[in-house]
Amino acid sequence: MSSVGTFSLGASEGSSEKIVINVSGVKHETHKSTLMTLPGSRLAKLVDTEKPPSEFFFDRNPEVFAHVLQYYRSGKLHCPTNLCGLLLEEEFAFWGVSDTDVEPCCWATFRQNKDTVEALAQIKHLVEPGQNDQSSNSRAWQQKIWALFDNPYSSITAKVIAIISLFFILLSITAFSLQTEHIYLSQSHQLWTGNSSKNFAETFPVKSLDMVEIVCSIWFMIEFVMRAVSCPSKCRFFMNVMNIVDLLALFPLFFRWCSSMYCCKMMGFLHIMRCIRVFRIFKLMQHVFGVRVLNHALRASATTLCTVPLVLFICTLIFGTMIYYAEVDSNDFHFINIPSCFWWAVVTLTTVGYGDMIPISGQGKLVGFLCAMVGVLLIVLPVPIIVNNFIKFSSLVKTKYSMPRKKEKNSVDAVLSSSA
Amino acid sequence: MSSVGTFSLGASEGSSEKIVINVSGVKHETHKSTLMTLPGSRLAKLVDTEKPPSEFFFDRNPEVFAHVLQYYRSGKLHCPTNLCGLLLEEEFAFWGVSDTDVEPCCWATFRQNKDTVEALAQIKHLVEPGQNDQSSNSRAWQQKIWALFDNPYSSITAKVIAIISLFFILLSITAFSLQTEHIYLSQSHQLWTGNSSKNFAETFPVKSLDMVEIVCSIWFMIEFVMRAVSCPSKCRFFMNVMNIVDLLALFPLFFRWCSSMYCCKMMGFLHIMRCIRVFRIFKLMQHVFGVRVLNHALRASATTLCTVPLVLFICTLIFGTMIYYAEVDSNDFHFINIPSCFWWAVVTLTTVGYGDMIPISGQGKLVGFLCAMVGVLLIVLPVPIIVNNFIKFSSLVKTKYSMPRKKEKNSVDAVLSSSA
Amino acid sequence: MSSVGTFSLGASEGSSEKIVINVSGVKHETHKSTLMTLPGSRLAKLVDTEKPPSEFFFDRNPEVFAHVLQYYRSGKLHCPTNLCGLLLEEEFAFWGVSDTDVEPCCWATFRQNKDTVEALAQIKHLVEPGQNDQSSNSRAWQQKIWALFDNPYSSITAKVIAIISLFFILLSITAFSLQTEHIYLSQSHQLWTGNSSKNFAETFPVKSLDMVEIVCSIWFMIEFVMRAVSCPSKCRFFMNVMNIVDLLALFPLFFRWCSSMYCCKMMGFLHIMRCIRVFRIFKLMQHVFGVRVLNHALRASATTLCTVPLVLFICTLIFGTMIYYAEVDSNDFHFINIPSCFWWAVVTLTTVGYGDMIPISGQGKLVGFLCAMVGVLLIVLPVPIIVNNFIKFSSLVKTKYSMPRKKEKNSVDAVLSSSA
Amino acid sequence: MSSVGTFSLGASEGSSEKIVINVSGVKHETHKSTLMTLPGSRLAKLVDTEKPPSEFFFDRNPEVFAHVLQYYRSGKLHCPTNLCGLLLEEEFAFWGVSDTDVEPCCWATFRQNKDTVEALAQIKHLVEPGQNDQSSNSRAWQQKIWALFDNPYSSITAKVIAIISLFFILLSITAFSLQTEHIYLSQSHQLWTGNSSKNFAETFPVKSLDMVEIVCSIWFMIEFVMRAVSCPSKCRFFMNVMNIVDLLALFPLFFRWCSSMYCCKMMGFLHIMRCIRVFRIFKLMQHVFGVRVLNHALRASATTLCTVPLVLFICTLIFGTMIYYAEVDSNDFHFINIPSCFWWAVVTLTTVGYGDMIPISGQGKLVGFLCAMVGVLLIVLPVPIIVNNFIKFSSLVKTKYSMPRKKEKNSVDAVLSSSA
Ligand SMILES: [K+]
Ligand SMILES: [K+]
C-alpha cells in the first residue's frame, strides 16, 4: 500500500502513529493516541511501550471489535442491535471494557437477551411441572404412589385416579349445594309452620345426600393420607395452600357425629368449614395448561394489579361521600348513611347497577354520571397490566416449547452463574 | 503484508498456525487450533491434515460465516437478528453446524421467520377460500352448479342467488319470530278465556306467516338438494356443521302435516327443531371478511380462551357458596338455596346485575363487593389472549395480501418439506 | 496474494474461473458459473463473454450487493432487516433483480418502510388540517372569510368566532332540552286536567326559551350563509355531512310560523327536524386533536369493527330464540313473544341488565348464564381491532410531528410515484 | 492488485478518477464525481482541488461512513436499524451531513434511541422520588424533619410516622362515615317522632366519635405544621394539591366550636368541608409503586384520554334526544323530559343499567339497543390509549432499574444539552 498522496485526519499530530489491529482477518487501522484514551484496557497496555509493533493479531470477533474501537474513539459505548447481548458481554470482557459503560440508549438492547434467558429459566417449572419435586432420597414405593396421585401424566392408572378424584370433587360440590336447600327448607319450615309433619318426606333425599357426602369425604381422606405419606418433602407438603384446604375440608366429617346433637350452636363454625369444601374446585384448574400460563402472568403482574382494588377502594370512599351529601336533602330513603352509600358506589363503579339505590336529585344524578364514567375507566385499568405480561409469557412459553432440549440446561446455568 | 513486528494473541502456542479462509472475497484469519474445537465439522476435517494449505476459498455467504467462525472460537452459536433465519439454517447446514446448537437467547430470533412462513401457509385458505374444494374428478355441470351456490364471487348469477338466499334467511327468521307471538297468544287465550271466538280474526296472519314459512322452506330444500348433488366431496359435505343445520332446519316442514293433528304432544320436540332454524343466520357471516380473520384468531386462542368460562365457573361456585352463608341468617328470601345463589353470582360476576337478588346484610354486601370486583377483572381476562393472536393474524393477512403471487407456492412448499 | 496451496470449493470445476467484483472498495470474489445462474441480470450479461475481465468495479452499495450475490448463489433472495426496504428496492433495480423474487419470509421486512411512507402520506391532512382546502382560484376576501369561519387557528378573530359559535351550540341544545319539558308538561296537563289555567304561568319561560332558540337559529343561519358563500369549492361544501346537518337544523326556524297553527299534525315531522339540531354538537369534536387520531383509527378499523354489531345481532337472534323456548312453559309473563325476547338478549349481552325481564326457570337461567358469558366476551372483541390500529396511528403521528419539514414533500412524492 | 482487465461502471466518464477513502482500515473506493454531489460537505471540500491525493485516512466509524457514502451516491440518507441513532447523529455531524436529510422512512428508527434517552430523563423522579426536593440552602434540622415526615424510606422513625399517619387517616374516615349515620338518624328521628327521648342513648357513640375526630384532627394539624415549617421550598409546598387538601380538611376543626351553636345554618358549607376530608385517602396511594407508574401513564395519555368523557357526553346528548322522541307517544311516564332522558342515556351507555327507566315502545327499544351497543364500544375506547402508554412506561421503568448508576447522569445531560 503506497502512502504517497495519503491524506490523514482525525487525531492530534503528536502521536499519530498508525496501528493496525488485525482481528480475525479484518484489519482495523487507528492512531496510537486513540487507543490511549482508555488507559486501563488491554489495547492501551499493549501499545503503551516505546516501540509498539505496527500490527496486532487477535482471533476474536471482528464485528464486536469495531464497536469497541468506536468506544476508544468517541468515549461512548453503543451496542449494535443485530448482535446478541451475551456475545457482546463476552467480547467486552476480553477487551477489558466494563458492561456498565454501555450508554443508556443502548442498555435495553444490551440487556434484552440476558433477560430472556433468565425468564426462560424461571418458567422452566411451568412447562415441565412436578419434575423437580422428586428428591432422590425417598424410597421407590413412595415415588410410585406420589406419581400416581400427583402427576396424572405419569401413567394410565394415575390418569384414572385423577378422573375419579375430579368426579368426586364435582359430586361433593353438587351434593353440598343441593343439601343446603333442604337444610334451609326444614329450618324455615319449622320456624313458620311450627310442626314437622312434612319432615319425614324430606328425610329421604337429605339422608341420601348425607350418604354421598360421607362417601366423598372418605375418598378425599384416603387421597390425602396417601399423598401425605408418599410426599418426598413433608415440610413443603404442609406449606402448600391446596393441601391445607384439603385438610380443613375434611373437618366437617369428624364433627358430623358430635354436631348432630347440638346442631344449631356450632352452625356458624360449621358453615365456614363447609364453605372451605368448595375451594377443592381449584384442583380442577391445576392441570389445565392455559390456566397455568394465565396464573403465571397474573402473579408477575400482581404488584401492579393490586393497585386496581386500591383505586376502586378510594373511588368508593370518594363517590360514597359525595352521593351522601348530594342526596342528603332529597326525600330519598336509600342514601341514609355513608356505609350504605359505599355499597351504591361499588355497585355503580363496577357497572353492576342492581337498581336498589338510585339517585333522585339533580346533583345526585351528576354524581352518578361521574361515578359510572370513572367506573368504565376503572374496568379498563387492569387491561394493559395483564396484556403486557401475558404477551411476554406467551412468547416465552412458545419459545421454550420449540427449543431443542439438549443444549438448554448447561447454557442457561452458565448464564445464570456468570450473572451471579 | 509485512509480518515484521506482528503481535499475535488468542490461542495456545502449540498449533498457532494461521489459516486464511476466503469466503467470497472476505478473508477470515484464524488459528488451526480454533478450527479443531469442533472435530466433526467441515472445516475441522479440511485442516486436520499434516500440511493444510494456507488459504481456503468458499463461494458462500461471508456474513454468516463470521458467526460460524465465532462458534468455533467461543463454543456458543449466537444468531444475528438482521439476517433471515432460513438463510442461516441453509448456511449452517453447509458448514456442518447443527440447528440445535443455537443458544437459547437467540432461538426465538432464529425461529421467527420459519414460524412466519409456516403461519402464512396455514392462513392460505383464509385469503383464497373455496379454492381447494374443487377436485378434478367431478363433472363440468357439477362444478358449475357448485360454484353457483357456494361461491358468490364466481359469477353474477351466483351473486344473485346468494342475495336471494340471504333474503329468504332473513324472511324465514322474521316469520318465525312473529309467528311465536301468535302461537303463544292463541294458547294463552284459550287457557284464560276458555272460548275461541277471537281465533278467526287471528287465523289470517297466522295463515299468511305459515305460507311464508312454507315458501322459505321450499327454497331452502331446493338449495340444499342442489348443493348436496353438486358437491365434489359428499363425505365432507355431510361432515360440515352448517349443512347438518340446514338439513335439521328442514325437518319441521316434513312434520308439519302430521303435527297439525297432535300439535300439543310433540311441542317439545318441535320447539328444538324450530330453534335450529335460527342458526341459519350463521350463513350470513361466512362471506364477511373481518369475521373470518376474527374467527381464525379466536380458534387459535381457543385453548387458552376456554380458561375464561372455567374461571367464571369456579368463581360462581365460590361466591355462590359465600353469599349463601353470608345471607343465611338475614331475612332475605332470595338467597334460599345455593343453586339460586349461583344465579346471583353469575349475574354479578358478568356485571349484568338484574337486581332481582340483592344482598342485604353487611357481610353479604362485602361478598357482593368482592364478587363485583372479581367480575371486573374477569371481563378483562380474555383481552390479552385475543389481542395477542388477533394482532398476529392481522399482520399475517396483510403480508399475504401485499405479497406477489408467483414465488409463493414453491418456496413455501420448499420450507415445509425441508422442515418435515 | 499467493495462490500457492489455495483450496477452492463450492462450484463445479467446468467454469470455476474466479471473478472479482469490487463494489465501492469491497471486493467480492465468486465463480463465473455462479453469476450465470440468473441469465437475464446485469452481471450475467457482463461475464457472458469469451474472456471477461478479472475485476469489475461498481460504485454502488457494497452491503446490499452481498445479498444480491447470495441470491446468485442460493437462488433465494433474503433481505437484511437492518437496511431500509427503499434502499434495497433501488439497489435491486440496478442489479436487475425483481422485487417479486423476495422470499415470503422476508417480504414483511422488505415492505415495512414503504408502507410507513405511504401511511405517512395518508395522515398528512390529519396533522395539517384544512391546508389543502384552499384552491388558488378563489378571491382574496373569500379566502379571508373562509379562514375566519372554518379555521379557528388562523387569527384571533377566527378564534373568537369559534368560541361564540360553540357558545351558541351549547345554548341552543340547553334551550332545546329545557323546552321539551314544557311541551310535554303543557300537553299532558291539558290531557289530564282538561283546563289550561296554569298555561299562563308557563307561557313566560316557554316564550323566553323560544326567544333564545330564534336568536341561536339566526346566528347559525348567518354562519351557514357566510361559509356557503366563501367556500372555495361549492360542490365539496354540500357533500360534507356536517354542512347538511347544519342546513337541516335550520328548517324548524322556517316552519315555525306555519307550524304554530297546525301544531299537532306535523309533530312527528318536526320532532325529527328538531332531533337533527343535537347533531351540531359534533362540531365540538372537530378541533380536539385526540378525537381526530381516534376517528382516523376507528375509520381504518371500520371494516373489521362492523363485525361486532353483526356478531351481536346474530347472538341476539340465537339467545332470544333460546330463552323463548326455555321460558315458554314457565309462568313468566315477560317472555311472551320472540321480539321481546330479543330485547332481553340485547340487554343481557351488553351487560346492561335493566332487570325488567328475568328468567325464572332453571333452563332459562342456564340460557341467561350463557348469554351473559358470551356478552362479556363480546365486549372484549373490539379491543384488539382498535388497539392494533390506534397504536399504529399514534406512532405515525408522533413520527410525523418530530420529522423535519423540508425533505418530506418531495421524497414522499418520489416514493409514491415510483410505486405507482 | 492488477488493474489489467478492470471493468468500471456507475459514473460519468468525465471525472471518473477513483478515490480511496480509508476509514479506520476499511477502504471505500468511489469516483470523485460522486463526492462532488454534495458541494458543502467535508469530503467535497477535500477533493475539490486540482490534484487530490488518491487516498484519505479517517479514524472514524467505518460502518456509518458506508451509509454516508451511499447518501453521496443516491442522494437519499437511509439509516441502518442496527446502529444507535445517537452514534449516527455524531458521525453525521462529523461528515457534515444534516440530521434533517434523513429520509421519512428511516426517521422513526433514527429518532428512537434519542426519544428513549429523553423519556428516561423524564421518569427519573418516578424511580427516585423526593431526591431533588432537597435544596442545599435549608438547615440540617429542617432537612431531618422533612425527611422524617415526607420520605418514609429515609429511616425507621420515618416509617413508623408514616404508619401512624396512615392509621389516623383510616380512623378519621371510619369515624367520619359512622358519624353521618347518627347525624341523619337524629335529624330524621326528630323530624318524624317529634321527640328526642332516644337522643341520650345515641349521645354516647356520637360523643366518642367526636372525640376520635378531634384526636385525628390534632394529629393532622401537627403533621401539617411540621411539614410546612421544615419544607425546603415554601412556595412549592403551598402549590401542591395534596397540601391544600390537608389544610382545607383541617377547617371543620376550627369551625367546630362555633358550628355547635348554629348547626343547621352552615350545614351546606360544612358538608363540603367534611367532604374534603375523604380526599386524604389519596395519601395512601403516594407510596405504592404501581400507582405511580399508572399515574404517569395516565398523565401521559391525558390529552387523548379526555376524548372519552367528550364522546360520552356527545353520545348522551344524542341518545337522550332520540329516546325522548321515540318514547314521547307511548304511555311511559319515565321519559317525561330530555334532561331525565340524559340520565337514562348515561346509565345505559356506561352499561350500569339501574332499571329505573326502561323504554317500552318498539322504536324506544331500538334506540336502547343502539345505545347499549355504542356503550359497549365506548367502554373499549380508552383501552388502546392506556395500553400504549402503559407498556412504554413499564419498559422504561424496567430499563431504568436494571441500568448501572454511574454513567447515567452525565450522558443523559449530554444528550439533552446537545438536543437543546
Ligand atoms: K349492569
Ligand atoms: K342492572
Q: Does C181 contact chain D (CB < 8 Å)? A: yes
Beta strands in A238-303 (DSSP E): none
Phi, psi angles (nearest 5°) of residue A31: -90, 150
- Mean pLDDT in residue range D172-190: 62
CA of D355 to the centre of ligand 1 (A): 9
CA of D356 to the centre of ligand 1 (A): 12
pLDDT of residue A349: 92
pLDDT digits (tens, 9 = 90+) for D78-137: 999 999 999 999 999 999 888 888 888 888 888 888 888 888 887 766 555 444 444 455
The conformation of residue D59, written as its DSSP 8-state character, comes to -
pLDDT digits (tens, 9 = 90+) for C49-81: 777 777 888 889 999 999 999 999 888 899 998
Strand-pair partners of D77? D102
State how far the Cα of D212 lies from the Cα of D176, in Å rounded to an integer: 9
Verify that A169 and A273 share a domain, yes or no.
yes
Verify that C258 and C376 share a domain, yes or no.
no
Verify that B84 and B157 share a domain, yes or no.
no
Last residue of a domain, one of C287, C312, C340: C287
User: Which is more confidently placed, A224 or A292?
Assistant: A224
Query: Out of C181, C308, C404, whose CB is closest to D337?
Result: C181
State how far the Cα of D129 lies from the Cα of A301, in Å rounded to an integer: 22
- Comparing A316-320, B22-26, D49-53, D214-218, the range with the smallest average pLDDT is D49-53
Taking only Cα atoms into account, the Rg of chain B, rounded to an integer number of angstroms, comes to 35
Whether C383 and D383 lie within 8 Å, measured CB to CB: yes
The pLDDT-based confidence of B260 (bands split at 50, 70, 90) is low
Task: Indicate if the pLDDT at residue C180 is higher than 70.
Answer: no
State how far the Cα of C281 lies from the Cα of C303, in Å rounded to an integer: 26
- Mean pLDDT in residue range C211-226: 86
Would you say residue C411 lies in a domain? no
Q: Does C22 contact chain D (CB < 8 Å)? A: yes
Verify that D196 and D249 share a domain, yes or no.
yes
The pLDDT-based confidence of C144 (bands split at 50, 70, 90) is confident
CA of C357, nearest ligand number: 2
Whether A57 and B18 lie within 8 Å, measured CB to CB: yes
- Mean pLDDT in residue range D364-382: 88
Q: Find where cell 317439545 sits.
A: B268
Which residues, other chains included, contact D376 with Cβ-Cβ below 8 Å and sequence gap of 6+? C308, C312, C350, C351, C378, C379, C382, D351
Verify that D212 and D90 share a domain, yes or no.
no
The pLDDT-based confidence of D198 (bands split at 50, 70, 90) is very low
Would you say residue A394 lies in a domain? no
Task: Indicate if the pLDDT at residue B77 is higher than 50.
Answer: yes
D113 contacts on A by Cβ (under 8 Å): 105-106
Q: How far apart are the first and last CA of chain A?
A: 49
- Comparing A364-378, B149-163, B273-287, C145-159, the range with the smallest average pLDDT is B273-287
**Percent with pLDDT over 70 in chain C:** 74
Contact (Cβ atoms closer than 8 angstroms) between residue D181 and residue D205:
no
Distance from the Cα of C222 to chain A's closest Cα (Å) equals: 35
pLDDT digits (tens, 9 = 90+) for C242-288: 788 788 777 766 666 555 555 555 555 666 666 777 777 777 666 66
Q: Does C81 contact chain A (CB < 8 Å)? A: yes
Query: Out of B82, B355, B383, whose CB is closest to D82?
Result: B82
Contact (Cβ atoms closer than 8 angstroms) between residue A33 and residue A12:
yes
Would you say residue A393 lies in a domain? no
- Mean pLDDT in residue range D187-216: 59
Would you say residue B163 lies in a domain? yes
Which residues, chain by chain, have CB under 5 Å from ion ligand 2?
A 353; B 353; C 353; D 353
pLDDT digits (tens, 9 = 90+) for C291-348: 667 777 777 777 777 778 888 888 898 899 888 888 877 776 778 888 889 999 999 9
> What's the CATH number where D142 sits?
1.20.120.350
pLDDT digits (tens, 9 = 90+) for B163-202: 888 888 888 888 877 776 655 444 444 444 444 444 444 4
pLDDT of residue C4: 38
Last residue of a domain, one of A122, A148, A171: A122
- Comparing A57-71, A250-264, A396-410, D55-69, the range with the smallest average pLDDT is A250-264
CA of D353 to the centre of ligand 1 (A): 5
pLDDT digits (tens, 9 = 90+) for A11-24: 444 456 788 899 98
Count of alpha carbons within 13 angstroms of residue D133, beta-carbon side: 22
What mean pLDDT value characterizes chain A?
Answer: 76
CA of B325 to the centre of ligand 1 (A): 25
Query: Out of B81, B355, B383, whose CB is closest to D355?
Result: B355
Burial status of residue A204 (CB atoms within 10 A of its CB: 0-12, 13-18, 19 or more): exposed
Tell if the pTM clears 0.90, that is, is over it: no
Distance from the Cα of C144 to chain D's closest Cα (Å) equals: 31
State how far the Cα of C408 lies from the Cα of C404, in Å rounded to an integer: 7
> What's the CATH number where B309 sits?
1.10.287.70
CA of C379, nearest ligand number: 1
The pLDDT-based confidence of B271 (bands split at 50, 70, 90) is low
pLDDT of residue B340: 85
Whether ipTM > 0.95 holds is: no
The pLDDT-based confidence of C44 (bands split at 50, 70, 90) is confident
Whether D24 and A355 lie within 8 Å, measured CB to CB: no
State how far the Cα of B226 lies from the Cα of A377, in Å rounded to an integer: 53
Query: Out of C351, C355, C383, whose CB is closest to A355?
Result: C355
pLDDT of residue A347: 93
Query: Out of B9, B73, B80, whose CB is closest to A57?
Result: B9
pLDDT of residue B127: 55
> What's the CATH number where A46 sits?
3.30.710.10
Task: Indicate if the pLDDT at residue B347 is higher than 90.
Answer: yes
Q: Does B104 contact chain D (CB < 8 Å)? A: no
Last residue of a domain, one of D258, D287, D316: D287
Cβ count near B201 (within 10 Å): 8
Verify that C307 and C336 share a domain, yes or no.
yes
Would you say residue A396 lies in a domain? no
State how far the Cα of B113 lies from the Cα of B82, in Å rounded to an integer: 11
DSSP assignment of D344-393: HHHHHHTT---SSS---SHHHHHHHHHHHHHHHHHHHTHHHHHHHHHHHH
- Mean pLDDT in residue range D270-296: 69
Distance from the Cα of A184 to chain C's closest Cα (Å) equals: 19
Distance from the Cα of A412 to chain C's closest Cα (Å) equals: 28
pLDDT digits (tens, 9 = 90+) for C198-214: 444 445 566 777 788 88
Going D311 to D312 to D317 to D320, the CA torsion angle's sign is positive
Least Cα distance to B44 among B52, A61, A24 occurs for B52
Query: Out of D105, D107, D336, whose CB is closest to C86?
Result: D105
Cα–Cα distances in Å, from C404 out to B15, B255, B329, D98? 57, 75, 72, 11
CA of C318 to the centre of ligand 1 (A): 21
Task: Indicate if the pLDDT at residue D53 is higher than 50.
Answer: yes
Would you say residue A1 lies in a domain? no
Which chains pack against D, by 3+ Cβ pairs within 8 A?
Answer: A, B, C
pLDDT of residue A344: 93
Whether A346 and B369 lie within 8 Å, measured CB to CB: yes
B18-23 and B26-31 strand pairing: antiparallel
Verify that C53 and C86 share a domain, yes or no.
yes
CA of B353 to the centre of ligand 1 (A): 5
State how far the Cα of C133 lies from the Cα of C231, in Å rounded to an integer: 9
Task: Indicate if the pLDDT at residue D264 is higher than 60.
Answer: no
State how far the Cα of D111 lies from the Cα of A270, in Å rounded to an integer: 66
CA of C352, nearest ligand number: 1
State how far the Cα of D384 lies from the Cα of D405, in Å rounded to an integer: 33
Helix axes C408-419 and C104-122, enclosed angle (nearest 10): 130
Whether A407 and B372 lie within 8 Å, measured CB to CB: no
Distance from the Cα of D184 to chain A's closest Cα (Å) equals: 7
> Quick check: helix, strand or coil at residue B28?
strand
> Quick check: helix, strand or coil at residue B152?
coil
Verify that B176 and B273 share a domain, yes or no.
yes
pLDDT of residue A87: 92
Torsion of CA C151, C215, C278, C167, to 10 degrees: 50
- Tally of structural domains, chain A: 3
Whether A350 and B376 lie within 8 Å, measured CB to CB: yes
Whether C325 and B391 lie within 8 Å, measured CB to CB: no
The conformation of residue D37, written as its DSSP 8-state character, comes to T
Cβ count near C212 (within 10 Å): 18
pLDDT of residue D1: 38
pLDDT of residue B112: 86
- Mean pLDDT in residue range A115-124: 80
CA of C350 to the centre of ligand 1 (A): 8
CA of B354, nearest ligand number: 2
CA of C348 to the centre of ligand 1 (A): 8
DSSP assignment of D97-152: --GGGB-HHHHHHHHHHHHHHHHHHHTHHHHSTTSTT--TTS-HHHHHHHHHHH-T
Q: Does D281 contact chain A (CB < 8 Å)? A: yes
Phi, psi angles (nearest 5°) of residue D22: -90, 100
Q: Which domain holds residue A320?
A: 302-382
Task: Indicate if the pLDDT at residue D192 is higher than 70.
Answer: no
Would you say residue C404 lies in a domain? no
pLDDT digits (tens, 9 = 90+) for C91-126: 999 998 888 888 888 888 888 888 888 888 877 665
Distance from the Cα of B111 to chain C's closest Cα (Å) equals: 11
Strands across the sheet containing A55-58: A26-31, A18-23, A55-58, B6-9
Interface size B-C, in CB pairs within 8 Å, comes to: 234
Would you say residue D407 lies in a domain? no
Q: Does C372 contact chain D (CB < 8 Å)? A: no
Torsion of CA D297, D299, D305, D307, to 10 degrees: -160
Our CA angle for A365, A371, A375, nearest 5°, is: 145
Verify that A214 and A345 share a domain, yes or no.
no
CA of A348 to the centre of ligand 2 (A): 9
pLDDT digits (tens, 9 = 90+) for B281-339: 777 666 666 666 777 777 777 777 777 888 888 889 889 988 888 887 777 677 888 88
Cβ count near A22 (within 10 Å): 22
CA of D352, nearest ligand number: 1
Count of alpha carbons within 13 angstroms of residue C200, beta-carbon side: 1
pLDDT digits (tens, 9 = 90+) for A43-55: 888 887 777 777 8
Query: Out of B116, B386, B404, whose CB is closest to C100?
Result: B404
Task: Indicate if the pLDDT at residue A251 is higher than 50.
Answer: yes
Cβ count near D262 (within 10 Å): 9
pLDDT of residue B286: 64
Task: Indicate if the pLDDT at residue A191 is higher than 50.
Answer: no
Task: Indicate if the pLDDT at residue B53 is higher than 90.
Answer: no
Verify that D158 and D268 share a domain, yes or no.
yes
pLDDT of residue B65: 92
Q: Does C394 contact chain A (CB < 8 Å)? A: no
CA of C301 to the centre of ligand 1 (A): 28
Task: Indicate if the pLDDT at residue A123 is higher than 60.
Answer: yes
Q: How far apart are the first and last CA of chain D?
A: 50
Verify that C148 and C280 share a domain, yes or no.
yes
Taking only Cα atoms into account, the Rg of chain C, rounded to an integer number of angstroms, comes to 35
- Mean pLDDT in residue range B376-395: 80
CA of C367 to the centre of ligand 1 (A): 17
Least Cα distance to B227 among B142, B343, B341 occurs for B142
Verify that D147 and D112 share a domain, yes or no.
no
Which residues, other chains included, contact C230 with Cβ-Cβ below 8 Å and sequence gap of 6+? C141, C142, C143, C144, C145, C146, C149
State how far the Cα of B85 lies from the Cα of B115, in Å rounded to an integer: 10
Burial status of residue B193 (CB atoms within 10 A of its CB: 0-12, 13-18, 19 or more): exposed
Mapping DSSP onto H, E and C, the string for B276-343 reads: HHHHHHHHHHHCCHHHHHHHHHHHHCHHHHCHHHHHHHHHHHHHHHHHHHHHCCCCCCCCCCHHHHHH
A292 contacts on B by Cβ (under 8 Å): none
